Structure 1
Amino acid sequence: MKLKKSQLGLTAFGWFLALCVGGFVVVTVMKLAPIYIDNYAIQNIFDSLDDRPDIAKASPRKVRDYISKGFTTNMIRDVHIKDVVVKKEGGFLTASLKYEKREHLVKNIDLVLTFENSWKIKAE
């Protein structure tokens, strides 16, 4: 049987350290979650292009308009439609987006996240 003295639990310093680490994790998640949610919405916008009738016959400008409307509907503000590259070449219609998002964490520490989203369909 252990002595009661060795079963006291965390010290004040232990609790302080645990709260600091927990707080850091919570702040980091709160800063990163909206960025990942936006990227998930962007990929869903690209994937939803397949559901549009006659998308294979659409011009790159029309595809860009569809994506722009999706950005507006989903309130995507940190990524601009001008960064989306829509091309029709080699018998395929493609849309791609590569972007980087920087999020300030603390003092001089920033988190840098890079994303690549793409969509491709055989053009008619």
Structure 2
Amino acid sequence: MGRQIRSSLRRQRGMSYWGWLGIVAIFGFILTCASKMGPAYIDAYYVDEGLRDLSENPGLRDMSRGEIKKELDRFFLINNVRGEPTESVRILRGADSMLVSVDYELRQPLFYNVDVVMKFNKQLNTARADLCCEPTVDLEQFRKRD
């Protein structure tokens, strides 16, 4: 009976050094990914909110491209959105609608020579304002003309 208890206690010792090291390494990797990629997703959230705010503007169709860009820039400044999202705003006017697009790609170094590429494509189509911020138009056809 004593031998059985000692054997049982040996199996219940807990995690080894290598087990704890593995858990700490996994937690560290997740924390590194979150700290490197998190700000890009926060900026994308504010881009989305800026387009939604713009879609609620009753005079949107009468605004010039410069006024729309200025309105978005002001929203981005208030919410501390900088860099690629602010530079990639495109406004396309059609006969009966307008498209405001913020389509960009970010490359963030993760560690050593490993980079993470994140793509964001947010669109506001005034003809389908209820679908705000989901890409509704393929902009590849317009990029070839630019």
Task: Please give the TM-score of this superposition, normalised by the length of structure 1.
Answer: 0.89
Q: Does 2:58 align with 1:58?
A: no
Which structure has greater strand proportion? 1
Q: Does 2:119 align with 1:114?
A: yes
Q: Is the 8 A contact 1:103 1:110 kept in 2?
A: yes
1:92 and 1:53 map into 2 onto residues whose CA distance is 14
Q: Is the 8 A contact 1:60 1:93 kept in 2?
A: no
Q: Does 2:46 align with 1:46?
A: no
Match 1:27 to one of 28, 32, 35: 32
Task: Detail structure 1 runs of 4+ shifted over 6 Å in the superposition.
Answer: none
Instruction: Select between 64-73 and 3-12 the one with higher mean Cα deviation.
Output: 64-73
Percent identity, aligned pairs only?
23
Q: Which runs of 5+ in 1 are unaligned?
A: none
Deviations 1:93-121 (A, max 9, x none): 11001111111111100111000011011
Match 1:74 to one of 56, 73, 79: 79
Give aligned pairs, total: 122
CA-CA distance at 1:5 after TM superposition: 0.7
Q: Is the 8 A contact 2:85 2:103 kept in 1?
A: no
What secondary structure, in the 3-state scheme, does the structure 2 residue paired with 1:23 have?
Answer: helix
Q: CA RMSD in A?
A: 1.6
What secondary structure, in the 3-state scheme, does the structure 2 residue paired with 1:3 have?
Answer: helix
CA-CA distance at 1:80 after TM superposition: 5.2
Q: Is the 8 A contact 2:108 2:117 kept in 1?
A: yes
Corresponding residue number in structure 2 for 1:8: 13
The structure that has the greater radius of gyration is: 2
CA change 1:11–1:80 in 2 (3 A) is: closer
Q: Flag the structure with more relative contact order, 1 or 2, with Cα contacts below 8 A and sequence separation at least 6.
A: 1
